[in-house]
């Protein structure tokens, strides 16, 4: 990847609403040249989407947890992500190496909601769970580094 494209990606990962004019100033390119480069990065799939970062406490979802899941019957199909897709409290689903098959990042309003979600996950996917509750988040969603 070209250095200028990498710089544009770094800038946009820090502020997805940065204008083409601002990107041009930061990279030394004209506004139209930056626009063309961004469109090309989008077309290639390097930039997949733009997203608002939400303050989860402000929207009533202050409790973050990671739930590691493992199939109770390993001979069954590995379709947990599909079985859990309908649960909106699951923010991310990662396929992982190790004893568990997947690591889920969830956001809920309180411990009771987490307990209910755990029961729903176990029932929907026929899995065992291991949960880690986040106490604080020093940083997350960091922009791509230089």
pLDDT at 146 over 70: no
pLDDT of residue 74: 85
Q: In this predicted model, what pLDDT tens digit does every residue of 3-20 receive, in sequence order?
A: 999 999 999 998 899 999
Q: List, in order of start, the domains of the chain with CATH numbers.
A: 3-44 (1.10.10.10), 63-134 (3.30.70.920)
Long-range contacts from 94-100, C-beta under 8 angstroms, 24+ separation: 96/68, 99/68, 99/70, 100/68, 100/69, 100/70, 100/130
In the numeric block, which tokens belong to residue 140?
Answer: 């997350």
Q: In this predicted model, what pLDDT tens digit does every residue of 46-57 receive, in sequence order?
A: 999 998 888 999
Does this model's pTM top 0.75?
A: yes
Residues of the chain with pLDDT > 70, as a percent, come to: 99
Tell me the average pLDDT of the chain: 94
Across residues 69-95, what is the average pLDDT?
94
């Amino acid at each position: 990847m070209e250095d200028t494209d990498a710089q544009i990606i770094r800038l946009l990962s820090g502020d997805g609403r940065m204008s083409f004019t601002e990107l041009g100033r930061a990279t030394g390119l004209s506004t139209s040249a930056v626009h063309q480069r961004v469109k090309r990065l989008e077309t290639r799939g390097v930039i997949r989407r733009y997203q608002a970062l939400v303050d989860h406490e402000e929207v009533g979802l202050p409790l973050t947890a990671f739930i590691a899941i493992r199939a109770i019957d390993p001979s069954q199909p590995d379709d947990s992500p599909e079985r859990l897709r309908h649960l909106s409290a699951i923010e991310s689903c990662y396929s992982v190496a190790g004893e568990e098959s997947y690591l889920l990042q969830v956001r809920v309003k309180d411990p009771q909601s987490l307990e209910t979600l755990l029961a729903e996950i176990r029932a929907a996917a026929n899995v065992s769970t291991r949960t880690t509750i986040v106490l604080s988040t020093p940083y997350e969603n960091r922009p791509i580094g230089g």
